């Protein structure tokens, strides 16, 4: 699931908000639904695409997987595979990044990732590239608790450190993740206006100002996952089992990928994560700003999705608690 901002993720109408949420006054803007699918996909279409392009998999059972993703339809394919098809143009534009770069990065990463084993092309009326990937056991960390947050913090930190090598000049540029934190200012403030009924605006603005005052990253752009929040982390038997959805893979400030400190881990586990990643104080503080921005975006675009709303709310609360220390 990718979190951006309202102008880029569809035009679903806002959900009416309880007037009591603001002491009897309706907010100017309320959270909106997830973006609608631009292309509908069913199991019959998936079967047809497989018959045409990957006939050796075409007889495997196909099961639709309900999900929280804004960009992809997911189908389980037999016991060991899944089929992922973009549900809107924005997601389709990112598939090429995974197809090109993930095979180069995956061998050095210490957690399983959905390295495509089949790269599908448009067909049968479906307009975009699509993927067949390994099925990674587990449920997303947004709903599945970790049995040992300290161990998981070290594990995820090691993953981030392994990924964060300098990126080549031809690495993808992501307009939402490759920018500086100051480059997110206008979007973050607009998002805050959308959710002011749900948060303490004064405290959020203060925490955001703190983040903007931090020295910007002056090192080489590094490889970023770009969307390392709990809906893109898998947990099996209480342990991290995989990292998914590399569509936002790009180059930029390493602070972008430390958002999990506040979106996933309790306060006692955050130092373990920071040590494993190897971040300096300025990067840590910028990461807290990124976590705030992503948390607000989750709140603003989840009127019909309580799991994403809860993920956003917890991130905002964690940032405010730490920023207020």
Q: Are 27 and 191 in contact (CB under 8 A)?
A: no
pLDDT tens, 72-103?
Answer: 889 999 999 999 999 888 778 778 888 999 99
- Dist. CA 93–CA 87, nearest whole Å: 11
**Domains defined for the chain, CATH in brackets:** 37-135 (3.30.200.20), 136-325 (3.90.1200.10)
* Residue 13 pLDDT grade (very low, low, confident, very high; cuts 50, 70, 90): very low
Q: Are 156 and 260 in contact (CB under 8 A)?
A: yes
- Dist. CA 237–CA 234, nearest whole Å: 10
**132 forms bridges with which residues in the sheet?**
83, 118
pLDDT at 12: 29
pLDDT tens, 291-317?
Answer: 999 999 999 988 888 999 999 999 999
Give the total residue count for the chain.
325
**pLDDT of 34 over the 60 cut:** yes
pLDDT at 15: 30
Residue 301 CA: distances (Å) to CA of 30, 89, 312: 9, 18, 10
Considering only the C-alpha atoms of the chain, give the largest distance between any 2 of them, rounded to a whole number of Å. 61
By the 10 Å C-beta count (0-12 exposed, 13-18 middle, 19+ buried), 118 is classed as: middle
pLDDT at 37: 77
pLDDT at 199: 96
pLDDT tens, 152-180?
Answer: 999 999 999 999 999 999 999 999 999 99
**pLDDT of 224 over the 70 cut:** yes
Q: What is the pTM (predicted TM-score) of this model?
A: 0.86
**pLDDT of 70 over the 80 cut:** no
Residue 115 CA: distances (Å) to CA of 82, 167, 225, 233, 267: 11, 19, 13, 15, 32
Q: pLDDT over 70 for what percent of the chain?
A: 87
Q: pLDDT over 90 for what percent of the chain?
A: 77
């Amino acid at each position: 699931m990718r979190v951006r901002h309202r102008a880029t993720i569809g035009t679903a109408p806002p959900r009416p908000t309880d007037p009591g949420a603001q002491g009897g006054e309706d907010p100017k803007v309320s959270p909106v639904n997830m973006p609608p699918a631009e292309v509908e996909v069913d199991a019959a279409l998936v079967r047809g695409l497989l018959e045409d392009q990957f006939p050796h998999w075409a007889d495997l059972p196909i099961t639709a997987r309900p999900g929280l993703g804004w960009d992809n339809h997911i189908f389980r394919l037999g016991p060991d595979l899944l089929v992922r098809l973009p549900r809107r143009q924005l997601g389709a534009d990112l598939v090429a990044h995974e197809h090109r770069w993930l095979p180069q990065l995956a061998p050095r990463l210490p957690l399983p990732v959905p390295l495509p084993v089949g790269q599908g092309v448009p067909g049968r009326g479906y307009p975009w590239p699509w993927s067949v990937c390994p099925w990674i056991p587990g449920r997303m960390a947004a709903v599945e608790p970790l049995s040992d947050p300290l161990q998981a913090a070290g594990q995820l930190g090691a993953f981030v450190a392994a990924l964060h090598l300098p990126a080549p000049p031809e690495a993808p540029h992501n307009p939402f993740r490759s920018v500086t934190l100051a480059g997110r200012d206008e979007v973050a403030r607009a998002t805050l206006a959308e959710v002011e009924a749900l948060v303490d605006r004064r405290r959020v603005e203060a925490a955001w100002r703190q983040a903007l005052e931090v020295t910007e990253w002056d090192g080489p752009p590094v490889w970023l996952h770009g969307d390392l929040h709990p809906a893109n982390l898998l947990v099996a038997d209480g342990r991290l089992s995989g990292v998914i959805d590399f569509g936002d893979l790009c180059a930029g400030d390493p602070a972008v990928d430390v958002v999990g400190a506040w979106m996933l881990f309790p306060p006692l586990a955050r130092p373990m994560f920071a040590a494993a990643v190897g971040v300096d104080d300025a990067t840590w503080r910028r990461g807290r700003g990124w976590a705030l921005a992503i948390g607000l975006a989750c709140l603003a675009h989840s009127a019909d999705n309580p799991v994403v709303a809860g993920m956003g709310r917890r991130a905002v609360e964690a940032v405010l608690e730490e920023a207020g220390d």
